[in-house]
Structures are given as structure tokens and as C-alpha cells.
Amino acid sequence: MLSVGLTGGIGSGKSSVAQRFAQLGAVIVDSDLIARQIVEPGQPALDEIAQRFSEGVIRPDGTLDRLGLAAIVFNDPQALADLNAIMHPKIAARSTQIVDEAPDDAVVVHDSPLLVEQGLADSFDVVVVVDCPDDIRLDRLVNLRGMAADDAAARMAAQAGRDERLAVADYVIENSGSEGQLQQQTDAVWAELVEAAAEFA
């Protein structure tokens, strides 16, 4: 099994690369996706959140009011710590379960947007960085995602810089061109990851 950390700044195209890896056969561990799944109706995390933050964070249809919860924890460090104490162990447990169920020769890709910020590079056998110039990322966030320019720039500034990400990369997928070029690079890196996984099996 090969453990791969996949990261990239907001607007870099990391999600597109993760999606392509999944199509090619990777086992994907996506903490953001898991975080959404464990607060679905009927999941224990949702009940714990309701107990801690009141039923007011649950919509009439039984789903989590994410914006309402965010408003509570945004300016309250203790509330945020309490939320993390509910969420993080469950995210970790589900991530471990996905890895444990993967075949011995699997390429397990951990979609980790904050890999550099959290100092996780050494936790993986290989780190893949999706890289793109800042001006192109900003343009994508504004024109494709509809974000305000100031908000997009602030989100980018809050993350690690390009140089910091590139410093931990074993493979770099450069994404300032077309979708076809991105897929071609992703497929080439995938071929090398599969070869490496066979040695780790």
C-alpha cells in the first residue's frame, strides 16, 4: 500500500486531480467529505452537536445548519474546540477504516488541503502537489466560483505559500493549462504511483 498526500492551494485544481485519481483506481480519503458524511441525519456526530450547541443548529428537515453552527464557533474558541472534539475523532476513525479496508497494493490518496499548514508531509510515503500561479488561482475563484476578489485573496493568503508546498513535493502537477493537459500530467503521475505501490505491497 502506498500512502499519498495530495495537496494544493485553493483554486489550484486539487479536487480535479483527486477525482481523476479516483477514476484511475485510487482509494481516496477526503477529510472534508467524511466531515460532511458524519453529520448527516442519523449519525452520532449530529446528535452530539445538537446536544452541545442546542437544537437550534438543526434545520426542520433534520439536517445540520452549517452556517448557523459556523456563526457560533467563529468567534468562540471554546465552542470551536468543543466542535473539534466531536468531529476529529470520528473523522480519524472513518479515515482509518477506509485505509484498513484498502487492498495491499492500493494507492491510498489523502486529499489534504492543509497538509503543509498542519505539518503532515512526513506522514505520507509520497506527497503530490497541484501547483498553479496565484493570479490564475485568483481568477478561477472569482470567475468560476463567484467569490469576491477580496475574499478570494484573503482565503489564499491564509494558506501556505506556493514555495512552502513545492518544498515538500515528491511530484508536482502544474495546472495553468487546459483540462486535457491536467489529465495528461495526472495520468503520468498515477502510473508512477502504481509502480511504487507494487513495491510497497
Map residue 76 onto helix, strand or coil: coil
pTM, whole model, 2 decimals? 0.85
pLDDT at residue 75, rounded to an integer: 81
Map residue 64 onto helix, strand or coil: strand
Fold classification of 1-26+106-201 (topology level): Rossmann fold (3.40.50)
Alpha-carbon distance values, 91 to 34, 43, 87, 108 (Å) = 6, 12, 6, 16
Give the span between the Cα atoms of 112 and 8, in whole angstroms.
8
Average pLDDT per consecutive 10 residues, the chain (201 residues; last block may be shorter): 94 94 96 91 92 88 90 87 92 93 93 90 96 93 89 88 94 94 96 90 65
pLDDT at residue 201, rounded to an integer: 65
Give the span between the Cα atoms of 9 and 131, in whole angstroms.
7
pLDDT at residue 127, rounded to an integer: 97
Write down the domain spans for the chain: 1-26+106-201, 35-104
DSSP assignments along 27-41, one per residue? EEEEHHHHHHHTTST
pLDDT at residue 55, rounded to an integer: 72
